[in-house]
Amino acid sequence: MQPNEPQRVAVEHAVPDVDGGEFAVKRVVGDDVTVEAVVFADGHNLVAANVEYRHANERDWRTAPMGPLGNDQWAAAFRVERAGEYRFRIVAWIDHLATWQQGFLRKVEAGQDVTLDREEGAALVEEIAKRAGERDADALETFAERLRHSSDKRTLTRLARIVELTRDYPDRAHATVRDTTSPIWVDQPLAICGAWYELFPRSTSLDRARPGTLRDVIERLPYVAELGFDVLYLPPIHPIGTTHRKGANNAREAKPGEPGSPWAIGSARGGHTAVDPDLGTLGDVQQLVRAARKQGLEVALDIAFQCSPDHPWIREHPQWFRHRPDGSIAYAENPPKKYEDIVPLDFDTEDWPALWEALADVVRFWIGHGVRVFRVDNPHTKPFPFWEWLIAEIHATNPNILFLAEAFTRPHVMHRLAKIGFSQSVTYFTWRNSKWELTEYFEELAHGPGAEYFRPNVWPNTPDILHETLQHGSRGTFMVRFVLAACLSAAYGIYGPVFELMVREAREEGSEEYLDSEKYEIHHWDLDAPWSLRHFIARVNAIRRAHPALQRNSSLRFHSVDNDQLLCWSKRSGDGSDIVLCVVNLDPWHAQAGWTHVDLGALGLDWEQPFEARDLLTEARYTWSGPDNFVSLDPRSTPAHVLALTPLGGAE
């Protein structure tokens, strides 16, 4: 077997990486990407390496020189400035001149004869000069001449600078090029950080005599904006089927006049690209999107790829549905449970290419009407390759579109959806309530292997999940669950107005369903109820906007407290200048007190220097010194501290 041209430099363990380059790592516009790898050659040879990177739309690679971190580990960083796909590769080579320099200087120091070494160094420099630009070539040749004829102090002083200069002109003939790296998918910053608010449009009417419409939602925008949210998410707004329509509290049969579930999509009035005439028109949607954006809000629509038995596709594309031996169309079921008002699409159909295109057309349709954010309903019940294709297809022309995966399912399935392209994912937060559950889970989210691609979006409640912690909790419980969501995770959401109004009655004991759920009936809410948490929510969201520390997840760190009902954590901005420390009382009913032991070193704070802890919720100010500080929190007043930490004194 004929040997290959040798590439002598080993490049191993390049990060960031997802599954050995198979999937993309995720970043947002403005992030610095730090690339690390193990780079080394045989023998005493010194190596040099560059990270080369480019946006998919650029032809030329840009270069970031790697520097050594010790133990053969090298690193370089570059900034991603545009949405879309970036690629990077590592180019590494033996730096013969630097290797020569090292031996040369040691010999000079040992007083050995270096006549031949000077000649060899000069020859190396001249070789490099041939590859250099004209100006540098001149400098290199002059230096080579000087090295050849003298080894005085001045020549040695110039040596380091010359070796540095030659780094721009490596002999790449034998360079190792490592390009089996993960792509880097760059989203708009909303993909990592944003506060979501979900509401049912049909429940937004201030007039109790009629259901709400999209125009009522437009009226509601100032309220949502005042509360400080970034995304307004609407359940499906399409015509609702009448066949097997569900009644209030998921009754098998709807009574006349009951509106049905918005997820039973499609009727004679249209399917996934139609607007329910009871809610309004396509024009209303466009107007809502525009009005929302003016108030700093993105409208997120629901993508639920399923049909009511009355959906136009049943007639137009019967081959997209599974027919049973008696000719009927199979409805959704999870035996023995039945969902008679919904029929699933049959992704096993031989006509799948047309089906996939039709579904992509639904997304394209709403993008065409201004929508940039989609919450995808139960993506885990459709094939992974479908989503991988769909999202790539959309992103190829619209890299700013975001997809939230609403998949409450097994861990590997949730991670797979994130790997194949979903921008964000719902989490188990709703079911993580004790101190150890929260600590373990958020440690995993912030620092586990999924951190490169799985972006959490955490919800204290959803129309499907009213956790018993809220059912049986106090006002303090709602506040704590809100602070946990908003300050543990850069992205979070609530389902309102039931959250801020602290609606908490379950359909029955042991159920996580709301009693009289909006999924099956129309409500009218009193937003001005005196017990509403709206002002508290607005305050916390304002803090999130003012504090970069809360806008990312990777700096999350839990700190020890000697009380199992108190949870303490911190986040820090990338430049270290903004530090937020939170403490919450998980006990719904009783005041709890304890000593926090804050890892000051991890926060860049000095053990000797006092620092100010300013409570951003109450404006109370404390002067702390050292890691141990006493905290007491009462759920009947304020069950949480959200503290900005600032070093005191110094050379201000």
Which residues are near a second copy by CB under 8 A?
A: 1-4, 6-8, 10, 12-13, 19-21, 38, 40-44, 71-72, 102-104, 106-107, 109-110, 112, 116, 119-120, 123, 324-326, 333-336, 347, 352-353, 356, 380-386, 389, 392-393, 396, 410-413, 416
* Unique residue bearing structure tokens 């918005």: 262
**382 vs 504 by CB, closer to a second copy:** 382
**508 noted as active-site residue:** no
CB of 472 to a second copy, least distance (A): 30
**41 vs 186 by CB, closer to a second copy:** 41
Best CA proximity match to 175, nearest among 59, 41, 21? 41
Contacts of 221 (CB under 8 A, 6+ apart): 232, 288, 291, 292, 295, 297
Integer Cα distance of 101 and 342 in angstroms: 74
β pairing state of 343-344 and 231-233: unpaired
Integer Cα distance of 565 and 403 in angstroms: 36
**406 noted as active-site residue:** yes
CB of 228 to a second copy, least distance (A): 36
Under DSSP, the state recorded for 202 is G
Q: Is 542 helix (H, G, I), strand (E, B) or coil?
A: helix
Out of 298, 377, 521, 587, the active site residue is 377
**8 vs 215 by CB, closer to a second copy:** 8
CB of 379 to a second copy, least distance (A): 8
Look at the chain and count its residues.
Answer: 652
Integer Cα distance of 618 and 626 in angstroms: 23
CB of 35 to a second copy, least distance (A): 17
Integer Cα distance of 330 and 324 in angstroms: 6
245-284 b/e with 16+ CB inside 10 Å = b? bbbbeeeeebeeebbbbbbbbbbebbbbbbbbebbbeeeb
In the numeric block, which tokens belong to residue 252? 């098998």
Torsion sign over Cα 11, 12, 18, 19: positive
CB of 101 to a second copy, least distance (A): 11
In the numeric block, which tokens belong to residue 432? 């993580």
β pairing state of 10-15 and 32-40: antiparallel
CB of 328 to a second copy, least distance (A): 8
Host H or E run for residue 494: strand 491-495
Q: What's the half-sphere exposure (Cβ side, CA atoms, 13 Å) at 480?
A: 31
**223 vs 408 by CB, closer to a second copy:** 408
Residue 549 phi/psi, 5-degree rounding, is -55, -35
CB of 525 to a second copy, least distance (A): 35
**43 vs 510 by CB, closer to a second copy:** 43
**411 vs 604 by CB, closer to a second copy:** 411
CB of 145 to a second copy, least distance (A): 15
In the numeric block, which tokens belong to residue 580? 């937020």
Out of 85, 310, 341, 406, the active site residue is 406
CB of 593 to a second copy, least distance (A): 37
Q: Contact at 8 Å (CB) between 481 and 213?
A: no
**122 vs 490 by CB, closer to a second copy:** 122
Best CA proximity match to 495, nearest among 196, 53, 265? 196
Integer Cα distance of 270 and 434 in angstroms: 46
**72 vs 168 by CB, closer to a second copy:** 72
Contacts of 625 (CB under 8 A, 6+ apart): 609, 610, 611
CB of 176 to a second copy, least distance (A): 10
Host H or E run for residue 642: strand 640-647
Under DSSP, the state recorded for 473 is -
**40 vs 569 by CB, closer to a second copy:** 40
**356 vs 408 by CB, closer to a second copy:** 356
Q: Is 237 left (phi over 0), alpha (psi -120 to 50) or beta?
A: alpha
Q: Contact at 8 Å (CB) between 590 and 604?
A: no
| DSSP code per residue over 46-92 | -EEEEEEEEETT-SSPEEEE-EEEETTEEEEEEE--SSEEEEEEEEE
**41 vs 76 by CB, closer to a second copy:** 41
CB of 388 to a second copy, least distance (A): 9
Integer Cα distance of 287 and 280 in angstroms: 11
Torsion sign over Cα 569, 571, 577, 581: negative
Which active-site residues does the annotation give? 377, 406
